[in-house]
Amino acid sequence: MGWTAPVVLGCPCCALWLGVWQSPSPLRGHELCLCLVAGVQCKQWPAAGPEHRIVANPMQEFVGRSLETDHIHHHLFHRYKERFGKSYSSEEEHEHRKRTFIHNMRFVHSRNRAALSYMLALNHLADRTPQELAALRGRRRSRAPNNGQRFPTELYTGLILPESLDWRLYGAVTPVKDQAVCGSCWSFRGRTGVLTPLSQQVLIDCSWGFGNYACDGGEEWRAYEWIMKHGGIASTESYGPYLGQNGYCHCNQSELVAQLAGYATVKPGSAVALKAALVKHGPVAVNIDASHKSFAFYANGVYEEPRCNETMVLDHAVLAVGYGVLHGKSYWLIKNSWSTYWGNDGYILMAMKDNNCGVATAASFPILA
């Protein structure tokens, strides 16, 4: 027996979601009966969008009709520009950005078809070239020794570490910022444990004499040294907003806060030591290998890049704010400075396995005076 409900004939499109009414006796093909809720009209399903067509049949771009393919690319790029408010100075630049966008789109789709532990998505960086993406990774690695204290891992040997930790839940993490087209990631990692908005711009403008190079890169421990030497760091309110470019140093006109007694470095390569530092001292500045395109377009999941370098090529400074386990994979919770358009609202889960991408290689944190 079937359902005791009103029946409508000849509307096959609704069969996908309303269900087919089954008669006790066989029905002829034209007597398809469907249960339709009162007041609901039967309509055609919306056609698949251009991007879905490319995902479903990636070879269509290359073997299909060129005019149709160009139309799809034009539509996708137009939608991308609208979403992120993009505009270009000339038709030549527009075509250049469009080609770059299409190339990055193909990369994102190809990686997502690989069924990895993470997913990629087209974000506000999708019209950037590899050279422009490299400019965002401003961590300059020097071999100069720093004066950081060694984090006493042995004191926490018997410490029972929680299975997961997220300092955002305790109000200990400031909002995600956008470093813009400037290799100033190191200045965003000069965390002092103070939640008052502190000025990254003062570090960009004023710490040249300590070995940093503003938008051309630097190291967070050199920022700590500058803060210690000058008795604190200016707040954003007193020094001025972040500019995303080099400026003139005027820290003498600003009130300095957040004095430091020193800074500590965590045992290189030790996940246990980094966990202990996170538990006992809060968010920790870390350096990673972010040179792979998969990092630039990360969206969600546990990021594990087998080509990542864990020791030498650590070209980006970020902030570890916790750790945990997702679908059996242990991860570090990392805060980036590429705006909330990037990643998962500005964050990424990075695999702990084999110190992937070097999260635990060069970690440090400041010690308040």
Q: Which positions are catalytic?
A: 185, 316, 336
Please give the Cα distance from 282 to 320 (Å, whole number): 9
> How many C-beta atoms lie closer than 10 Å to residue 291's C-beta?
20
Question: What one-letter code names the amino acid at 47?
Answer: A
Long-range contacts of 50-57 (CB under 8 A, 24+ apart): 50/75, 50/76, 51/76, 51/105, 54/105, 54/109, 55/109, 55/112
Count the helices and strands in the chain (H runs, E runs): 12, 14
Contact indicator for 185, 141 with CB cutoff of 8 Å = no
Side-chain half-sphere CA neighbours of 206 within 13 A = 22
Helix axis angle, 91-112 to 66-84, nearest 10°? 100
Residue 323, classed as helix, strand or coil, is strand
Please give the Cα distance from 173 to 333 (Å, whole number): 12
Please give the Cα distance from 46 to 101 (Å, whole number): 26
Contact indicator for 171, 294 with CB cutoff of 8 Å = no
Please give the Cα distance from 225 to 263 (Å, whole number): 9
